[in-house]
Structure 1
Amino acid sequence: MRSVRARAALGATVVVAVALIGAGLAVLLVLRANLTDQAGLQAEVVAREVAGQLALDVPYDRLETHDEEDHPVQVTDEDGRVVAVSKDLEAISGTGTDQVAPVPSPAAGGPTGSGGDDDGDGGDDSAPGRGGDDSAPGRGEVDSGDPDFGNGTATVDGDTADYRFASVRATTSAGVTLTVHAGAPLAAEQEAVGSVRGAMLIGLPVLLLVVAGVTWLVTRRALRPVEGIRREMAAITASEDLSRRVPEPGSRDEIARLARTTNETLTALEASVDRQRRFVADASHELRSPIASLRTQLEVGAAHPELLDVPGAVADTVRLQALATDLLLLARLDAGERPGRTTLDLGALVREEVAQRTGDPVVPTVSVPDSGVFEVVGSRGQLARVIGNLLDNAERHAHSAVTVSVRGGRGGVVVAVTDDGAGVPPQERERIFERFVRLDDARSRDEGGAGLGLAIARDVAVRHGGRLSVDGAREGGARFELWLPPAG
């Protein structure tokens, strides 16, 4: 199934079906158990009533049972012989013997009991004062323990039905142990269970259809905003218009959060594309100027060799090479290139960079403690490029002095580059780190850079886990601080 609605409806229906079937089976089992226990209780009452009569030596043919059609009774002796049955009992099973014809029991004195006059005087030997023996009537007992239960069938007056049988033992005054098997009908239990089962079989499919339909409708309504988001994303893809946004539902659920996240992604993507377009346009503009100048000089030199400005051509070529190098480094940074993991001494690196500038118009002054070890982890080439760009920027704007210091601080290593120039206005201190941004519009392109040095320096610092910021210096110029985490 490719539809989320169909899968949701099917899944909900299956879960509900399993739950209802399990609950239905549990209800049927509990109902059957309760009704069976009730039938067993009824059978026990009848069995104890008959057992009580036997304990009182009531003759077998005078045993009384109520509702003989609903409560068949069978009495057996110790040898399993049937000594008495209820009226109209034609067949029985589940009591240990299927015999329904009473058999005289010698121990019990026959089907009418053992109440005969053995001495021939016609008197009642069991009467008080007659010297009767210990077997006098009324001395029997009924077993008070839990009866035995079992299920079986019985045919009474031609009708066969299922019964719950209870077996109770009784002892007569003559010491004869008899077992009374009394039954209670299970028709009510079977009818109730059948009715409930039938209702479940009819109601379950209907309920499942309702669950499936409701789930389908609810899921359709819930996923309607998703379809709107999908259509808008398809339109954005087709039109390539990243300024469009997907509709955000007013709810606070997951779909609303998805729409907001999608719009945030579109905003970031639009900004990235715009930044890339500006980058390409600015790079093209910056490249066009030295290329045009170099071409002009070469064309003039080709026509008039004596007028060829070789130093100017070399300067344009160097500038073009430096710009190409900057663009290539930015492209690698944008592509997510990870810096190296070399451990290096930032103080020594600063000394090396300053030592290469002995011929510059403004020679930087270095302040690095001799006792300190300022180790960081990163790419030596990229960090050297950061320091070089900061020195180039400071020398370009300084009047007479550039100072470089290295110290430990704020849980890391700090390199500060200070000049005594005009400084950076507070409102422009973040803008100068953007690409191709030059605040001094009056200066010539040859004297100023392409506006990539500080942007590269900040990108490299961030990718090394550090930061680069600018503030005002006490000398009145600008103070750039590079902070990098320590090694280890």
Structure 2
Amino acid sequence: MRSVRARAALGATVVVALALGAAGLAVLLVLRANLTDQAGLQAEVAAREVAGQLALGVPYAELDTGDEEEHPVQVTDEDGRVVAVSKDLESISGTGTDRVAASGTAGTGDDDHDDRDGDDDPGRGEVSTDEPDFGNGTATVDGDRADYRFAAVEATDPAGRTLTVHAGAPLAAERRAVDSVRSAMLAGLPVVLLVVAGVTWLVTRRALRPVEGIRREMAAITASEDLARRVPEPGSHDEVARLARTTNETLAALEESVGRQRRFVADASHELRSPIASLRTQLEVGAAHPELLDVPGAVADTVRLQALAADLLLLARLDAGERAGLTRLDLGALVREEVSQRVGDRVPVTVSVSDGGLDVTGSRARLARVLGNLLDNAQRHAVRAVSVTVARDAGEVLVAVTDDGAGVPDAERERVFERFVRLDEARARDDGGAGLGLAIARDVATHHGGTLTVSGARFELRLPHPGALPPNLRSSIAGGAYR
């Protein structure tokens, strides 16, 4: 069953059917118990009426048992012998004995009981106030057999004999009521289930209508490859509306990502074209006129091409989410080491490192690459001095690279970190850079959970202390992703 509407309708119908079935069963059980209790109460009243007569010494043959068909009566003594039964009672069960004839007198009394008539003051007995015993059975009265609820009440006659009165109340009304309710439930259940299924189908169809619109639009976007299109957003504030908004946000991010990728490919192609064309020209000239081959120029173009390819490869890896092996390292020691290994800098670099608390978790090679890019940028713009300071700042380690040049204009503070972006002054002074150094530096900083910002001629790299790593880096390191 592939349709969500069908599954929802079926599920709702099954749940309602089970709920109605359980509720109906409970109603029937409660109804049967209440009607059975009412029949038991009627039987108890009838039994106590007869027991009261016995306590007053009424002879067995003169007992008033009421309506025999409604309340069949059987009286037994302590030995279980039948001493009296109601008129026209032909058979009985469920009272302890199925005899319907009084012992020795065929249900009209017995001699011992009749001898009490000669007693001047027979006194009076009593009726037990204990809760009677109840049970179900059958009785045949004047040829009609029926089910009864029997109550057994004990009484003591004036002679001190203990007698038990069994009186019944018919259960036919209870059976008829239960059967009527059950029939009504069975007849109404299919109708209710059909209504539930139909309403669920319609409601689900209406609720999923915007989803179908989203699906059709997504299919059209996939077919046309036009990421500028957006799915329709319903005016409601439910889950479907949130799904549409999230889908549009995803499409917008995807469009931006694809656009950035296309610009990156176009810029990379443009940047690669120049050194490749220059190198080809030099090689072609060298092939035709070996004496004119500019080997140093060819080597320089090859080095430039190699550096550009390395930068593009690193950016591609960063975009793909690749993370180099991380380790805990002292950023101050790393800065000292990298600065000491730089040769041929146009402007001298001074280093100031504070004591202690400069540990970070990161890739040594990539953080060294960030520092090298920042220093290269400072060397291109500095006049007489470049300085690097490393210090602990709250839960972060701060690396600041400052030169005495003109600095980055406020309007260009973010643009300078974009790929292949070179400001006019940088382009004039550049010795072949492609405008990827600062973009790589910021991407690496971001992947380490840090930031890279610029204010004038001061670039600030902030990396979290190991105790303040972002959750994604902590979980990745804990899971063994960085070894």
TM range (shorter): over 0.9
1:357·1:363 contact (CA, 8 Å) conserved in 2?
A: no
Query: What residue number does 1:81 align with?
Result: 81
Q: RMSD of the TM alignment (CA)?
A: 1.9
Deviation at 1:358, TM superposition (A): 3.6
| 1:97-138 deviation per Cα after TM superposition (whole angstroms, max 9, x unaligned) | 111122238xx8528622354xxxxxxx51xxxxxxxxx333
Deviation at 1:184, TM superposition (A): 0.7
Query: What residue number does 2:186 align with?
Result: 201
Deviation at 1:147, TM superposition (A): 0.8
Matches within 5 A, 1:7-406: 7-104=7-104, 109-110=110-111, 113-117=114-118, 125-126=119-120, 136-369=121-354, 371-372=355-356, 374-406=358-390
Question: Which residue among 407, 415, 424 is the counterpart of 2:391?
Answer: 407
2:116·2:122 contact (CA, 8 Å) conserved in 1?
A: no
Deviation at 1:145, TM superposition (A): 0.7
Deviation at 1:163, TM superposition (A): 0.7
Structure label with greater radius of gyration: 1
Q: What is the distance in 1 between the residues matched to 2:26 and 2:343?
A: 94
Question: Which residue among 459, 465, 469 is the counterpart of 1:480?
Answer: 459
Q: Secondary structure at the match of 1:437?
A: coil
Q: What is the distance in 2 between the residues matched to 1:2 and 1:232?
A: 21
Deviation at 1:352, TM superposition (A): 2.6
| 1:424-473 deviation per Cα after TM superposition (whole angstroms, max 9, x unaligned) | 1112101111111111268358525211000100111111121111012x
Query: What residue number does 1:122 align with?
Result: none
State TM-score, norm by structure 2.
0.92
| 1:303-335 deviation per Cα after TM superposition (whole angstroms, max 9, x unaligned) | 223332222222211111110110111111111
Letter aligned with residue 63 of structure 1:
L
Q: What is the distance in 2 between the residues matched to 1:314 and 1:79?
A: 129
| 1:18-59 deviation per Cα after TM superposition (whole angstroms, max 9, x unaligned) | 111111111111111111111111111111110111111111
Deviation at 1:15, TM superposition (A): 0.8
Q: What is the distance in 1 between the residues matched to 2:270 and 2:95?
A: 109
Query: What residue number does 2:452 align with?
Result: 468
After superposition, the Cα gap between the structure-2 partners of 1:140 and 1:373, relative to the gap in structure 1 and judged at 3 Å, is closer
Q: Secondary structure at the match of 1:336?
A: coil
- Greater fraction helix: 2
After superposition, the Cα gap between the structure-2 partners of 1:19 and 1:373, relative to the gap in structure 1 and judged at 3 Å, is closer
| 1:258-296 deviation per Cα after TM superposition (whole angstroms, max 9, x unaligned) | 111111111111111111111111000000011111111
Letter aligned with residue 45 of structure 1:
V
Letter aligned with residue 24 of structure 1:
G
Q: Secondary structure at the match of 2:114?
A: coil
Q: What is the distance in 2 between the residues matched to 1:356 and 1:52?
A: 121
Q: What is the distance in 2 between the residues matched to 1:486 and 1:186?
A: 85
Query: What residue number does 1:131 align with?
Result: none
Letter aligned with residue 314 of structure 1:
V
Q: 289-298 vs 450-459, which deviates more?
A: 289-298
Q: Secondary structure at the match of 2:134?
A: strand
After superposition, the Cα gap between the structure-2 partners of 1:295 and 1:57, relative to the gap in structure 1 and judged at 3 Å, is same
Letter aligned with residue 376 of structure 2:
D
Identity %: 80
Query: What residue number does 1:435 align with?
Result: 419
Q: Any unmatched runs of 5+ in structure 2?
A: 468-483
2:326·2:364 contact (CA, 8 Å) conserved in 1?
A: no
Query: What residue number does 1:130 align with?
Result: none
- How many aligned positions are there? 465
1:339·1:463 contact (CA, 8 Å) conserved in 2?
A: no
After superposition, the Cα gap between the structure-2 partners of 1:373 and 1:220, relative to the gap in structure 1 and judged at 3 Å, is closer
Q: Secondary structure at the match of 2:368?
A: helix
Q: What is the distance in 1 between the residues matched to 2:436 and 2:195?
A: 67
After superposition, the Cα gap between the structure-2 partners of 1:408 and 1:175, relative to the gap in structure 1 and judged at 3 Å, is same
Q: Any unmatched runs of 5+ in structure 1?
A: 118-124, 127-135, 473-477
Letter aligned with residue 56 of structure 1:
L
Q: What is the distance in 2 between the residues matched to 1:443 and 1:24?
A: 86
2:304·2:432 contact (CA, 8 Å) conserved in 1?
A: no
Letter aligned with residue 87 of structure 2:
K
Letter aligned with residue 431 of structure 1:
R
Q: Secondary structure at the match of 2:115?
A: coil
Query: What residue number does 1:121 align with?
Result: none
Deviation at 1:372, TM superposition (A): 4.1
State TM-score, norm by structure 1.
0.91
1:151·1:164 contact (CA, 8 Å) conserved in 2?
A: yes
